[in-house]
Chains A and B, each alone.
Chain A
Amino acid sequence: MSEYRISRSTPESRGGVAFFAALTLVLFTLPWWDGDGSLRTPLVIVLLYVALAQMWNLLAGFAGLISIGQQMFVGIGTYGLLTFAEEWGIDPYLSVPLCGLVAALVSIPVAFFNFRLVAGYFAIGTWVSAEVIRLLVNDSGSLKGGEVRSLTRESLGGYAKETRDNVTYWLALALAVGATAIVVFVLRSRVGLALRSVRDNETGARGLGVDVTRTKALIWVIAAFWTGCVGAVLLLNAPSATSTSAFSVLSWTALVIFMVVIGGNGSTTGPILGVLVFWFLDEQLADQDTWRFIILGGLAAVMAIVAPKGLYGLLQQWKPLQFFPVRRRLIGPGVDE
């Protein structure tokens, strides 16, 4: 047995994990104590945005894949659910992971084309890919993306409204917690070691045997799967969808980028902070109409310049806390600390 071992946990990470576990439990029981659903309704969207932000951050903050095309997977999830539940009569809740699967499958050819592009070109390429898929959905005779479509009572499986609202909420919670857990587990794993090395120095990582393309592709497919699931649950939560709303670059990518930039990219806690800050600001600016986006956009630009690592980055400068146990410390004779 070697006298050297790796430790990942720190005092604050033990506290952080306990805090998030307790928060998850409290949120899970919400339908039993939030009688009129006044908290539940806004929380569904907040939780789904946490899932989207975690996935975008996994791509951009860790894998260096700055995608402006995540709306393609949201849209695929939405139209996947319409097809599975509405056309084929599959249980809507069982259809959610199937939607993720379709998004993951589509992400493979999308990667095939876009992974040839670097940085800004990749960003534009993903946006173009999303538009192509939106147009295909829009013009498709069976998907009817040009019309307003919604899930009918029959396809919702005859569940009572109260039950449907609760299940949708729990699915949103599962997607938010699951997205955070995926990021933590990925970072703790070998893939995370590869990702962080690629992020810091791609040529150096290659020279040490890291298969950069395979690592990025894996992350790309995971994020597509999870984003597709979010797209399906967004439809469960919304009365209707069109190809324009389901494939909205503003709603499902631009706002998510804002949240991650404000909260702090390349961290696990940052995206959660960003979603909360965005929600607070958005509430304050609700009656500002067009000024809302000008103010939000201006704020993101200022943050990107003065605090490129976001609010979490500022917190790190003040005190380097790590709320999720992802870093490895070597413990053994002759090692400092």
Chain B
Amino acid sequence: MTTLLEVSGVSKSFGVKVIDNLSVSVSEGDAVGIVGPNGAGKTTLLNLIAGDLHPDTGSITFDGHDITGTRADQRCRAGIGRTSQIPRPFEGMTVFENVLAASVFGAGFPLSEAEATELAVASLTTSGLLGVANMRAGQLPLLGRKRLELARALGTSPKVLLLDEIAGGLTEAEVLELVETVKQIHADGVTIVWIEHIVHALLAVVDRIMAMSFGVKIAEGDPHEVMASPEVQEVYMGVEPE
């Protein structure tokens, strides 16, 4: 397995250290889960990988290139797709236009309008939003918004998909639906890095889990072993009632 994403010795501080000398390696085809209590730095890590933030120290390589200094839009075109914990829909545009924008600008290779449409339709189909394609994105309920995040990320034809608490706030049935969708995306060959509090959703998809606390990695490995490890039990289960 070739390494797709390599985070080496990355630190980020906002007055306090949010990420402290953290390294993680993701190979092509992996499905990695990231767990940790609130404030552990999970979303910050995702923002560093996606380019919304830049690390104070350390480097990030993707697909063989050092991308530490590149912008978010460049990383997207290079193949890093992401969903946000708080959905960022283009509310005045239709669901279809949202995903089309992702395909047109994010795919990283020039597409004709017909090709971009095809890619957008495929992403909408996978995410279960094809039926409401012409609805204003602002009118979508929460599940719809989460699905739109997914559809837009898929629309950029990512090599790696970064998911940030995509199951959070959904009903049990909705979570199960979403798990099936993510499974399918992974089966289609997309590498997955997934931050999630809902552990059973994570366990259904990922083959490795990294646990974080206060910006450092405290455990990494087989999902069940990591979740059962005393370090994780101590910091994670103690803080998170769910």
Instruction: Identify the A interface with B (CB < 8 A).
Output: 2, 4-6, 190, 193-194, 196-197, 199-201, 203-212, 327-330, 332, 334-337
Contact = CB atoms under 8 A, between A and B. Distances in A.
A328 B52 contact: no
Contacts of B120: 330
B76 A197 contact: no
Given A200-B91, A201-B88, A335-B130, A209 B52 contact: no
A206 to B, nearest CB: 4
B92 interface: yes
Contacts of A210: 73, 101, 105-106
Contacts of B58: none
Nearest to B104: A190
Interface stretch (B29-37, B107-115, B191-199, B211-219): B107-115
Given A207-B52, A208-B106, A209-B106, A328 B121 contact: no
Contacts of A334: 125, 130-131
**Looking at chain B's contact residues, is the secondary structure mostly helix, strand, loop, or mixed?**
helix
A336 B134 contact: yes
Interface of B: 50, 52, 71-73, 76-77, 82, 84, 88-94, 96-98, 100-102, 104-108, 113-114, 117-118, 120-121, 125, 130-135, 152-153, 155-156
Contact of A209 (B94, B114, B118, B156): B156
Given A193-B100, A197-B98, A204 B134 contact: no
Given A4-B121, A197-B101, A204-B90, 7 more contacts: A200-B91, A201-B91, A206-B52, A209-B156, A329-B96, A330-B134, A336-B133
Interface centre among B50, B105, B113, B125 (most CB of A within 10 A): B105
Given A193-B100, A193-B101, A211-B73, A6 B113 contact: yes
Contact of A203 (B52, B91, B156): B52
A4 B120 CA distance: 10
Given A2-B118, A207-B52, A196 B73 contact: no
Contacts of B73: 206-212
B75 to A, nearest CB: 9
B97 to A, nearest CB: 6
B76 A207 contact: yes
Contacts of A203: 52, 72, 88
A196 B93 contact: yes
Contacts of A337: 134
A330 B123 CA distance: 14
A337 B94 CA distance: 12
5 contacts: A190-B104, A196-B101, A206-B73, A334-B131, A336-B133
Nearest to B96: A330
**Looking at chain A's contact residues, is the secondary structure mostly helix, strand, loop, or mixed?**
mixed
A207 B77 CA distance: 9
Contacts of A211: 73, 105
Contacts of B106: 208-210
Nearest to A201: B88
A331 to B, nearest CB: 9
Nearest to A6: B117
Contacts of B71: 206
Contacts of B89: 200-201, 204
A207 B84 CA distance: 9
B241 to A, nearest CB: 31
Nearest to A4: B121
Q: Would you list the 5 A-B pairs with minimal beta carbon distance, nearest first?
A: A209-B106, A204-B88, A200-B90, A209-B76, A209-B105
Contacts of A327: 94, 97
Nearest to A202: B88
Contacts of B96: 328-330
Interface centre among B72, B101, B155 (most CB of A within 10 A): B101
Contacts of B132: 336
B99 to A, nearest CB: 9
A128 B186 CA distance: 53
A207 B108 CA distance: 12
B210 to A, nearest CB: 22
B131 A208 contact: no
A294 B121 CA distance: 53
Contacts of B131: 334-336
Contacts of A212: 73
Interface centre among A207, A327, A328, A332 (most CB of B within 10 A): A207
A77 to B, nearest CB: 33
A330 B125 CA distance: 13
B118 A335 contact: no
Given A194-B105, A207-B84, A209-B106, A328 B100 contact: yes
B92 A199 contact: yes
